[in-house]
Amino acid sequence: MPKPLIGLTSYARNEQNRYELPANYLECVYRAGGTPVVLTPVGSGQSVPDWLDCLDGLVFTGGHDLDPALYGEQRHPTTEQISQERDQSEMILTHSALESGIPMLAICRGLQILNVALDGTLHQHLPESIGELVAHRASGDKPARHSSYLVPGSRLHEISGYNVTEGVSWHHQGINTLAPRLTPVAYADDCLIEAVELKDHPWCIGVQWHPEMSAESDPVQQRLFDALVQAASK
């Protein structure tokens, strides 16, 4: 039986006119028993119908900030490295994936675009909006680690097997107004929503942390990819 094909969105076009994606995303999918396929935003979403015809699951990966115009706000001074090409492609992909019911895992920026696509909004700079009780990224734009508290009875809680998980965190934006169709299933100590599920979708989870960055040594984080691939195999 062929391994399920899992599409992973790539990072935006860089200054060298290249698309790229950290290898640990692909390794997580491979360890879970899937075949990873990188989806570049070239064409700004025109290839989405062809992608969904071929794929069994999706991972919306991390990356730089969304254009706040997508949720009706002016750009904050700290909001940077916006890619309209990537934003447009992933907005189209998100809406199409939600309609198709394909299993999807949204990570960091991926959770944010899921929330915005469903009419939610974002904090553009967390230290200014909610304070610094929790370091969601370390000084010098480096990753940090902090705990997230999972809601009992959620799919994420069942997958994890724990009430608390510690993940690698690397972001300065996060959910402000939660989209009406999303259900929060994890929180940080500062009450920021750290994970969501879409209850009217067969399998859709978004996490604000980066499970791919610690999954090789942390089975709890790898289980997210395992569960995605399992859902994509059905």
Six token digits for residue 44 = 């700004």
Q: What is the rounded CA–CA span in Å between residue 172 and residue 187?
A: 16
The reported pLDDT for the residue numbered 1 is: 74
H or E segment to which residue 181 belongs: none
Q: Would you say the pTM of this structure is higher than 0.85?
A: yes
The reported pLDDT for the residue numbered 84 is: 94
Q: What is the rounded CA–CA span in Å between residue 92 and residue 183?
A: 22
State the catalytic residue, choosing from 90, 194, 197, 212.
212
On the question of pLDDT at 139 being above 80, the answer is no
State the catalytic residue, choosing from 28, 90, 108, 204.
108
The reported pLDDT for the residue numbered 35 is: 98
Catalytic residue flag (residue 108): yes
Residue spans of the domains in the chain: they are 5-232
pLDDT in tens, 59-115: 999 999 999 999 999 999 999 899 999 999 999 999 999 999 999 999 999 999 999
On the question of pLDDT at 141 being above 80, the answer is no
b/e for 41-73, b at 16 or more Cβ within 10 A? Answer: beebbebbeebbeebbbbbbbbbebbbbebbee
The reported pLDDT for the residue numbered 133 is: 93
- DSSP, collapsed to helix, strand or coil, labels residue 196 as strand
The reported pLDDT for the residue numbered 140 is: 64
State the catalytic residue, choosing from 136, 157, 172, 210.
210
- Where residue 199 falls among pLDDT bands split at 50, 70, 90? confident
CATH topology of domain 5-232: Rossmann fold (3.40.50)
Contact by Cβ (8 Å): 124, 73: yes
b/e for 170-206, b at 16 or more Cβ within 10 A? Answer: bbbbbbbebbebbbbbbbbebebbbbbbbeebebbbb
Residue with tokens 């705990």: 147
Q: Which of 137-146, 151-160, 202-211 has the lowest mean pLDDT?
A: 137-146
Q: Where are the beta strands (DSSP E) in 151-200?
A: 164-169, 174-175, 182-187, 193-198
The reported pLDDT for the residue numbered 62 is: 97
Q: What is the rounded CA–CA span in Å between residue 151 and residue 201?
A: 18
